[in-house]
Amino acid sequence: MLPYTAYLRVYQPLTAFPSAERAYWLEYAESPERPRRAGAVAAEHRESLRRLVAAPPRPAPEEESGDAYVRRMGGRTYICPWQTRLRSWLGLREFRTDTPAALSPAYLPEAVARSAEDAFRRWRDRGEPLRTHILGSNWTVPLPWFAPFTAEERCLVLDGGADPAAEREEAGPAGAAGAPRRTAPRVLLYVTEASLARERLERAVAALQENIGDGPLLAAAEHLEDWLAGVAHPDALLELDYGGLVHLLDDERLREDESAAEISAAVAGLERGEDELAVAMYRRAAQRWKSVRALERAN
């Protein structure tokens, strides 16, 4: 897990879980000891670093995480399990696929990697689900990730401001009255209902199929549509969190970032046959994220 990572998270309502899991997550959501939102990403990052700097390194934890992100909206509690072990396994598989075999041992000893892959294979052969509730993207936000959201669902908090995401998290039976006002250093996120997200993604995919055709953009949008359909309960929430990427952008650039509005305008332009508008909106968003991604290779 890298510090400059954005996340797409599905929060399931408690009713989506089997009874035993539901009881566990209900107790977890009420616990004053669980990691709160402001420190959860940092806690995940610290845990992954401890494993990777161990001797020998441990690419995946021995047991699945019992932690989750928690949201409370409309009087309901929503849970997004961390699934750290599964996400680590999938990340290792992606790393091994994308990294030349001659270079891979420089990052992770071959015996350690094979041991982790064997553990993943045994787990997978038991028929365990491979869908994660969290997608991550290093150094950029893929443009299809904005298609499920509208500009009105954007939440920006700059240094020292009140964190509405944390306040929604805490606004439950355990602590609405008199709860401390939490602050967040920097946050930019979008939240919407999964049912609305799927409708918007369906529109975007249809517009791309009709006007653009096969290509990386359509493939990415279809992959996202498939993931959301496979993992999200009908009453789930979808959240796009810029995560550590907010530390790569100053306040002015964050205020001016209207990527979801631009992608929405590009889709609408395709639907209406306004090609110039569609291209202009897409290029504006693409150039913004191209410049952010270029920081990965900056000195």
pLDDT at 180 over 80: no
Select the more confidently predicted residue: 260 or 125. 260
- For residue range 48-86, what is the model confidence (pLDDT) as tens digits? 778 877 777 888 888 888 999 999 999 999 999 999 888
At 252, give phi and psi (nearest 5°). -65, -45
Task: Report the chain's mean pLDDT, rounded to a whole number.
Answer: 86
Please report how many Cα atoms fall inside a 13 Å half-sphere around the Cα of residue 91, on the Cβ side.
Answer: 20
Q: CA-to-CA distance for 271 and 260, rounded, in angstroms?
A: 17
User: Which pLDDT band holds residue 175 (cuts at 50, 70, 90)?
Assistant: very low
Q: What is the mean pLDDT of residues 160-164?
A: 52
pLDDT at 174 over 90: no
Cα-based distances in Å from 68 to 35, 78, 84, 126, 181: 8, 10, 10, 24, 22
* CA–centroid distance for 38 within its chain: 15
Confidence at residue 296, expressed as pLDDT on a 0 to 100 scale: 82
User: Which pLDDT band holds residue 167 (cuts at 50, 70, 90)?
Assistant: very low
Share of the chain above pLDDT 70, in %: 90
pLDDT at 272 over 90: yes
pLDDT at 168 over 70: no
DSSP type of residue 205: H
User: Which pLDDT band holds residue 171 (cuts at 50, 70, 90)?
Assistant: very low
Task: Please name the residue ranges forming H helices in 171-258.
Answer: 194-211, 216-231, 251-256
Write the burial class of residue 268 (CB in 10 Å: 0-12 exposed, 13-18 middle, 19+ buried).
Answer: middle
Confidence at residue 226, expressed as pLDDT on a 0 to 100 scale: 95
Q: Which residues pair with 239 in a beta bridge?
A: 9, 191
Share of the chain above pLDDT 90, in %: 58
Confidence at residue 242, expressed as pLDDT on a 0 to 100 scale: 95
Tokens of 128: 């365990």
* Amino acid type, 31: S
